[in-house]
Amino acid sequence: MKTEFISSILPNAVVDSLFVVDEVTLRNSSNKKSYISCTVSDRTGRLPCKIWGDAGMNESDIEGYYNTLSQSQGGIFRIAGRAALYKGELGINVNDGIVYLGKPADSSKLSDSDFINSPVDIAACKKQILALIESIGDEDLRTLVSSAVTKADGFFEKPAAKGRHHGYFGGLCEHSLEVAKTALSIEESLSGVRLNRDLLIAGALLHDIGKCQSFEKKGLSYAALPEYSLLGHTATGMMYLSRYRTFTDEETFRELLHIVQSHHGEHGETLPQTQEAWTVHFADTISAKLHEVDEDLKSVKPGESVKGWRSDSFVYRSPLTQSDAADGTGNTGAKGTAPPAKGNKESGNDRDGKKSQRSITDSFR
């Protein structure tokens, strides 16, 4: 039975517990000695871990342990070491405790629920996403989005990234829902700017669909496939959506692909050119960046500032802001409900003149 959790680990504390190990890589230190870098996790969070080994070990010893860990990614191992802060980030260093990493722990008497890292209520998140899809007034586009989401491999279970934001079970569906809700909130807030609400929802939910082809299940975790870095999720998303080309008219499909292709904004290959593409780009940035900042702040004391590696910027924990960092669980998953359509108008009285038959509020009844 697991009794020690990541949420209870403090700097300089001795750590000796079972964790899921993934993201295993073999690296060289500044003095050219090999060490193993990985991530350890349980249901309360994730931490970086560096495995140095004891003083008497040679390169082949370290490589042997690396081979065991890399071949068993997503497995449960006994991690014995000490917690430490490095550049404001809490992590675990393993020296003599490397001897426990020769094989995975016996998990026959362990509960998977103690080790699966996810703050997401996947069932609630899925319900909200399907309701959003049902609120799309353009029947052809609604069918396209429904088919693309429900037939994608692991849309509701896979992470949205390796570690920077939403890097946990259900992270992709949580992020996609956040982007859609944020985009709709932007649309609700702007006076005089006419947006195609149906395209907004479709683009928001499908902007990261390529990540379904970027990860595979490994034990109690997900590992990145070569496509994650070789092609990138935008390219795999465009390829995946091409199978739905005949589901809608040419112009609608072209604009949907443009939203997917341009959602990284100035950091991507193509800049957004439509109002909907810009809106999804900004909504995506809001969801991703605020989660990155939130994760960077979890090991920061109120009133202190550090350089966050996820957000790649200095972050300051305000004493005025309440935080759930103490329990190490981050967000609690899908929250609230999707915003209603503007005023009393039908939810699709958009620039193309198409009228939706359902409002968001109706879809949640």
Place of tokens 């929250």: 335
Q: Is residue 58 part of a domain?
A: yes
Q: Is residue 194 part of a domain?
A: yes
Nearest Cα to Cα of residue 76 among 15, 14, 22: 22
Enter the pTM of the model: 0.79
Write down which residue in 57, 87, 114 finishes a domain: 114
Q: By the 8 A CB rule, do 47 and 40 touch?
A: yes
Write down which residue in 65, 81, 114 finishes a domain: 114
**Torsion sign, CA atoms 347, 353, 354, 355:** positive
If you write DSSP's letter for every residue of 264-316 in order, what string do you get? TGGGSSS---SHHHHHHHHHHHHHHHHHHHHHHHTT--TT-EEEETTTTEEEE
Q: Is residue 1 part of a domain?
A: no
Mind listing the pLDDT tens digit for each residue in 89-112? 899 999 999 999 999 999 888 999
Nearest Cα to Cα of residue 177 among 219, 244, 129, 131: 129
- When pLDDT is cut at 50, 70 and 90, the band that residue 345 belongs to is very low
- When pLDDT is cut at 50, 70 and 90, the band that residue 355 belongs to is very low
- When pLDDT is cut at 50, 70 and 90, the band that residue 274 belongs to is very high
Q: Are residues 85 and 206 in the same domain?
A: no
How confident is the model at residue 322, as a pLDDT?
Answer: 66
How confident is the model at residue 162, as a pLDDT?
Answer: 80
Report the number of distinct structural domains present in the chain.
2
Comparing 39-43, 259-263, 324-328, the range with the smallest average pLDDT is 324-328
Helix 139-151, helix 122-134: angle, nearest 10: 160
| Residues linked to residue 325 through DSSP beta bridges, in sequence order | none
Give the SS3 label for residue 234.
helix
Nearby residues of 140 by Cβ (< 8 Å), 6 or more positions away: 247, 248, 249, 252
Q: By the 8 A CB rule, do 41 and 22 touch?
A: yes
Q: What CATH number is associated with residue 14?
A: 2.40.50.140
Domain boundaries, position 15: 6-114
